[in-house]
Amino acid sequence: MTTHLVWFRNDLRVNDNLALAAACRDPGARVIGIFIATPLQWRKHEMSPRQAEFIWQHLQSLHAALAERGIELFVRQADGFDDCVGFLQNFCETQKVDALFYNYQYELNERQRDAAVEKVLSPGVVCQGFDDSVLLPPGSVTTGNHEMYKVFTPFSRAFIKRLNEGLPECVSAPQVRKTTMPEPQKLTVFDYPCQPIDPNLFPCGEKQAINQLRLFCRQSVVDYAQQRDFPAIDGTSRLSAYLAVGVLSPRQCLHRLLKEHPQALEGGGGAVWLNELIWREFYRHLLVAYPKLCRHQPFISWTDNVTWRQDDAQFVVWQQGRTGFPIVDAAMRQLSSTGWMHNRLRMVVASFLVKDLLVDWRQGERYFMSQLIDGDLAANNGGWQWAASTGTDAAPYFRIFNPTTQGERFDGKGEFIRQWLPELSRVPDKHIHTPWVWAEKQSLTLDYPRPIVDHKQARITTLAAYEAARKS
């Protein structure tokens, strides 16, 4: 009997899992799975404790789902990616594995690890990889000169054209195997700090994720374009955490969207959310085309000449949500409390850190990864480089968000702000974005700081820093 091994990574699901489906095509094969925790590598990549907990929860869910289908899942630990290679080699020998199936990861370290695994296993073990976490493989959507697009809009047009030519198919969950497997063993907890997750925000389980996707596409996606920028409204999908660890696939998202809104590809209902899925693809394709993005390097080279301020105290104040700008502080406290932040606010707080405090965007990028339940290198790096005006298709460096204006525009009455800054609960709506002004007029003392920076002056300083870098 042949043995097929599925190496699970960020694809913790049984539905529409390309590697798992391929491993199960031979009805006579013994199919087993493995997940290898790499705490040392996770620390280097600053994976958040909440994401570690989310992975652990879904490993238990996956373990049960595979057991129902006669597939045993092993969960093991190897400190780093280098240790992974030798561990897999020994595991394949012990289990007499004939073929290894896995879904590609596109980050540079992960691709180097996979290349080393294939080299050490060849020719005794056949290795098969799949483009599972994307709708279209990196390198398949290019310009007329066969180069990766550097601007999102033409990439999006070409991407939609490809989708119209043929949609990527979803594959079914595997059937119950006829081969016998031992009684499922209790999983051993991996050695990495974990942090509790609010089950109301991120319920555990593949079925729950699929139900959330269906509900969003059926009810909320129609209003998504009008509501997505307002953090006090539950107008986003909150599916990013499930996509990040692979409890959902982008194909499932696309097909569910088109089932409810068939005209989305033509710009009809649901097109705005489809655009967000394509942004996710864009950043993934960029990682493969430009590996330097995985090395904390800016896409626009001259921006590496910006002279950043080294102010640890202000960076800590930003982390704690004590900057004196209510929309920034409310967003940072949401992140600290839940491990998630509304997308509009991610842009606002990133712009504030880089353009108001003139702190290196890489510090913010790393901090986000250490906090986010939906931490994803491609999306996080793309978002921070967009805000910092260092990336492809980024906001021009002279476009600087005014944090007070952003708050007034997207949380006019301060509903979101009051949720996270209870010390401002008695401030009237019209003063909620400048509470210190109201407090002074009322001769009151607020348990809330004054702004740590003057936005107008900070804008002038930042523009000068970028212009000096560009000229150099």
Q: Which residues are catalytic?
A: 276, 279, 308, 343, 361, 384
Where do we find the tokens 């696939």? 249
Task: Tell whether the torsion through CA atoms of 283, 286, 288 and 293 is positive or negative.
Answer: negative
Return d(Cα 250, Cα 310) in angstroms, integer: 39
State CA 18 to chain mean position distance.
20
Six token digits for residue 202: 């991120």
Name the β-bridge partners of 72: 32
Beta strands in 96-148 (DSSP E): 99-103, 126-130
Helices (H) and strands (E) in the chain, counts: 20, 5
Closest CA to 104 of 95, 90, 93, 115: 115
Return d(Cα 346, Cα 335) in angstroms, integer: 10
Q: Which residues contact 34 (CB under 8 A, 6 or more apart)?
A: 5, 6, 7, 8, 73, 74, 75, 76, 88, 91
> Would you put residue 246 in left (φ > 0), alpha (ψ -120 to 50) or beta?
left
Q: At CB < 8 A and 24+ separation, what contacts does 396-401 make?
A: 397/303, 397/463, 397/466, 397/470, 398/463, 398/466, 400/351, 400/355, 400/356, 400/459, 400/462, 400/463, 401/347, 401/348, 401/351, 401/352, 401/355
Q: Which residues contact 224 (CB under 8 A, 6 or more apart)?
A: 235, 236, 237, 270, 272, 273
Return d(Cα 348, Cα 404) in angstroms, integer: 10
Return d(Cα 223, Cα 220) in angstroms, integer: 6
The alpha carbons of the chain give a radius of gyration, in whole angstroms, of: 24
